[in-house]
Amino acid sequence: EPEVTQTPSHQVTQMGQEVILRCVPISNHLYFYWYRQILGQKVEFLVSFYNNEISEKSEIFDDQFSVERPDGSNFTLKIRSTKLEDSAMYFCASSARRGANEKLFFGSGTQLSVL
């Protein structure tokens, strides 16, 4: 069964450093998302991406965050200058279509630890 692949599974970085989290969505999917889950809290929406542009973003997704689809397969989340509170599990997700009955497929996540 096709799956969303995320790398790395764990990322440790120093506060203020830039990190790039990578995702390979399911190949025929068109809609891409990033969510995150801070330990002990709920899964939160960050951003959605379609047709090479952001279609929706949350308040969390400020100027320190950016997303890119640099080629036909990868979808990346960049945090320019990490903060301690960015420590979380980051999930990439993709779907084949929008609208009624949209079904998101999630990757296994990247655990980001900011020290």
Partner 1 sequence: DQQVKQNSPSLSVQEGRISILNCDYTNSMFDYFLWYKKYPAEGPTFLISISSIKDKNEDGRFTVFLNKSAKHLSLHIVPSQPGDSAVYFCAARGSGAGSYQLTFGKGTKLSVIP
User: Which residues form the interface with partner 1 (CB under 8 A)?
Assistant: 4, 6, 31, 33, 35, 41-45, 48, 55-56, 58, 91, 93, 98, 100-109
Query: How would you classify residue 6: left for phi > 0, otherwise alpha for psi between -120 and 50, otherwise beta?
Result: beta
CB of 106 to partner 1, least distance (A): 3
- Of 4 and 19, which CB lies nearer to partner 1 in the complex structure? 4
CB of 108 to partner 1, least distance (A): 5
* 75 or 91: CB nearest partner 1: 91
Alpha carbon distance 69, 115 (integer Å)? 28
One-letter amino acid for residue 23 of the chain: C
Quote the least distance from Cβ 107 to partner 1, whole Å: 5
Strand order in the sheet with 75-79: 5-7, 19-24, 75-79, 65-68
> For partner 1, which is the closer residue by CB, 17 or 113?
113
